């Protein structure tokens, strides 16, 4: 009987010891997390270069750094280059937040490269338009462009032409040899390709009508291009008379004195979202959540609209008339843009791009 009692006492002591150690570890763990959060003094951000980088580093980033007493390290690249880097670092992430477009956001999500937002740490989510919130809580739309028709105002004035009114105008024979068209897989083209299919009896899952229309368009095309700077150069020399582009790029180029303007076609301008995503297992996860929250605050959204020319996604932002004229602004105007679901295109982008390249060749 005594042996049984002693055994029970020993078990109780052992359990108490385990609980005490566990409790201590839990406390230490909590202390460690707090210490880690407190030590997060640096955020690594991967985003686009050029004027967009300069604008972000002149406005939103220094404001964020000042508010939280931290440093933002900016790594530049195209959306595809950034996605490739995140993939390569999958087992040892070195980037906290990335700048994605509709296509690379989708691709990264599919490969589970991004982390979910924590609504408790991103309270400004409640101020966003619904379309700006990812359905799975992964990343956010931080600004929007309208995809529309860009045209050369100097050439149109000289020829006495009225501004274009329809996506179908790109096929007008009077523009033969002077249409500039982005290549696939550039995000602008992926969206417009879905719209061309829709306008000609197809859909995002039946793209054959779009392929047929692109064959008809080829005689009109001056060049199929990749970098936006190439589009600017062709419009700047007067070689390009008409094409399509994002509103931010057209207004930015027009601001330099270039003879370009943009119209939204009667079939609808297309919503082109710009997104920020947190990398899964990011080295500074709490600071990444704070960065996302600050980015979509009314304060930062106003900066983004005025300097990056991206329409605000925060419903509370107030812009003056000059700024509002250059971006999709206000619930009525923003929600009027076509919000296309190009998931089927993104899923098959590699094969579609190969077919596109074979079709347009080296033009």
Tell whether 170 and 196 lie within a shared domain. Answer: yes
Under the banding of pLDDT at 50, 70 and 90, the label for residue 18 is: very low
Taking residues 296-313, report their average pLDDT.
Answer: 97
For residues 255 and 150, membership in a common domain is answered with yes
The answer to whether position 20 is within a domain reads no
d(CA 319, CA 88): 40
Q: What is the pLDDT of residue 94?
A: 97
Q: Are residues 149 and 266 in the same domain?
A: yes
Higher-scoring residue by pLDDT: 268, 362: 268
User: In terms of residue numbers, what domain contains 95?
Assistant: 42-144+273-340
Angle at 65 between CA 319 and CA 93, to 5 degrees: 110
In a domain, 6, yes or no: no
Residue 22: the pLDDT is 38
Domain co-membership, 151 together with 202: yes
Same domain membership, residue 158 and residue 207: yes
Q: Which residues contact 45 (CB under 8 A, 6 or more apart)?
A: 61, 72, 73, 74, 75, 95, 96, 97, 98, 99, 291
Do 165 and 255 lie in one domain? The reply is: yes
For the entire predicted model, the pTM comes to 0.83
Same structural domain, 139 and 180: no
Q: Residue 255's domain is classified under what CATH number?
A: 3.40.190.10
57 pLDDT exceeds 60?
yes
In the predicted model, is pLDDT for residue 125 greater than 60?
yes
What is the structure's pLDDT at 362? 60
Query: Is 112 inside a domain boundary?
Result: yes
DSSP-assigned letter for residue 173? G
The per-residue pLDDT of the chain, averaged, comes to: 89
**pLDDT digit string, tens, across residues 135-157:** 999 999 999 999 999 999 999 99
Q: Which tens digit of pLDDT belongs to each residue from 285-302?
A: 999 999 999 999 999 999
Q: How far apart are CA 350 and CA 295, in angstroms?
A: 32
Work out the percent of the chain whose per-residue pLDDT is above 90. 80
How many domains in the chain?
2
Specify whether the CB–CB gap between 125 and 119 falls below 8 A: yes
Nearest alpha-carbon partner for 281 in 113, 138, 120, 134: 113
Which secondary-structure segment (H or E) carries 214? helix 208-217
Distances in Å between the Cα of 334 and the Cα atoms of 191, 331, 337 are 17, 5, 6
Q: Is the pLDDT of residue 323 over 60?
A: yes
Instruction: Indicate if 191 and 113 belong to the same structural domain.
Output: no
Q: How confident is the model at residue 38 (pLDDT cuts 50, 70, 90)?
A: low
Taking the C-alpha atoms of residue 335 and residue 146, their distance in angstroms, rounded to an integer, is: 11
């Amino acid at each position: 009987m005594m042996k049984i009692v002693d055994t029970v006492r020993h078990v109780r002591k052992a359990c108490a010891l385990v609980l005490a150690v566990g409790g201590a570890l839990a406390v230490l763990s909590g202390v460690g997390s707090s210490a880690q959060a407190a030590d997060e003094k640096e955020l690594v951000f991967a985003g686009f270069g050029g004027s967009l980088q300069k604008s972000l580093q002149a406005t939103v980033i220094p404001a964020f750094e000042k508010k939280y007493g931290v440093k933002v390290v900016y790594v530049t690249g195209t959306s595809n280059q950034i996605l490739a880097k995140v993939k390569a670092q999958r087992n040892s992430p070195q980037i906290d937040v990335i700048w994605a477009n509709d296509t690379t956001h989708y691709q990264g999500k599919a490969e589970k490269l991004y982390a979910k937002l924590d609504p408790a740490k991103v309270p400004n989510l409640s101020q966003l338009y619904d379309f700006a919130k990812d359905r799975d809580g992964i990343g956010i739309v931080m600004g929007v462009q309208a995809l529309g028709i860009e045209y050369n105002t100097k050439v149109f004035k000289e020829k006495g032409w009225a501004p274009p009114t329809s996506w179908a105008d790109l096929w007008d024979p009077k523009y033969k040899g002077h249409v500039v068209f982005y290549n696939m897989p550039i995000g602008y083209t992926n969206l417009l390709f879905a719209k061309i299919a829709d306008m000609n009896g197809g859909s995002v899952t039946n793209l054959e009508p779009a392929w047929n229309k692109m064959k008809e368009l080829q005689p009109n095309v001056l060049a199929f291009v990749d970098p936006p700077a190439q589009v600017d150069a062709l419009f700047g020399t007067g070689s390009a008379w008409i094409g399509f582009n994002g509103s931010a790029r057209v207004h930015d180029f027009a601001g330099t004195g270039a003879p370009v303007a943009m119209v939204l076609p009667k079939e609808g301008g297309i919503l082109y979202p710009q997104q920020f995503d947190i990398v899964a297992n990011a080295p500074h996860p709490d600071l990444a959540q704070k960065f996302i929250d600050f980015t979509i605050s009314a304060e930062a959204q106003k900066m983004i609209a005025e300097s990056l020319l991206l329409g605000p996604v925060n419903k509370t932002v107030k812009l003056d008339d000059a700024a509002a004229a250059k971006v999709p602004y206000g619930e009525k105007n923003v929600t009027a843009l076509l919000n296309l679901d190009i998931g089927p295109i993104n899923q098959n982008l590699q094969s579609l791009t190969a077919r596109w390249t074979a079709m347009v060749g080296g033009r």
